[in-house]
Chains A and B, each alone.
Chain A
Amino acid sequence: MAAPDDFRRQVEALRPYLLRFASLQLRDAAAAEDAVQEALLAALAGEASFAGRANLRTWLTGILKHKIVDVIRRQAKEAPLAEEPGEDLEELDGLFDRAGHWAERPAGWADPDGALEQAQFFRALEACLARLPARTAQCFMMREHLGLETGEICKELAITPTNCWVMLYRARMTLRECLQQTWFGK
């Protein structure tokens, strides 16, 4: 096992990554800082439980995820996000005709894996995420960024599974449309 000072240095070196990880979910620099701080304290106190594990970043990220969920839970109580369009998904109506078929058939995306090699693509993705309504984005990122099951998301946000699926659907449809316009269709 590494000497304590060494361990502390390695943990500190990962702070920028952890801050970015937390900010992607929380969209709030101060809240992200809080979550990372709590995670680092817990990590340093629990160094022994890291012994023998392969990847420090993975271990720290696991701790951070719990702290992020704690922050979300606190925020949900203290300052709940505004309600959003209901389950009728009216804003997606333009994508389909009256019979529910594509108004305009989605275009194929050329070389999506190539996009994952480009920093600019990730900026485009972040810009699209920033355009999502707050609750929708929160739910989507809990699912895809934190990797929570929908059951856990429903519990933390006090919503029904149907509500959760609707928000995830809205997020995915909106993001694919946004990436089509700002990246793949260019």
Chain B
Amino acid sequence: MKLLSCKETTRLISQGLDRELALGERVALRLHYAYCVGCRRAGRQMEFLRKAVRELPART
């Protein structure tokens, strides 16, 4: 399996928030996460964005 770049990985992380990733995509993502702290952080931060936007209307 071809290793993903960080650019490809972040695209996949984002798509994972919008569609079900294929098995191969999930494996490639895990593999990349195993050695890339930058993408792990970016992934957590994109998930956090979702949470923050959901709380937005209740805040003024």
Contacts and interface: CB of A to CB of B under 8 A. Distances in A.
- The reply to whether chain A is a binding partner of chain B is yes
A109 B38 CA distance: 11
B46 A176 contact: yes
Chain A interface SS verdict (over half): helix
Nearest to B52: A125
Interface residues of B, number: 32
A100 B5 contact: yes
Contacts, number: 96
A96 B6 contact: yes
A176 B42 CA distance: 8
A108 interface: yes
A175 interface: yes
B11 A169 contact: yes
A24 B18 contact: no
B10 A122 contact: no
A172 B7 contact: no
A105 B37 contact: yes
A101 B10 CA distance: 10
Nearest to A105: B38
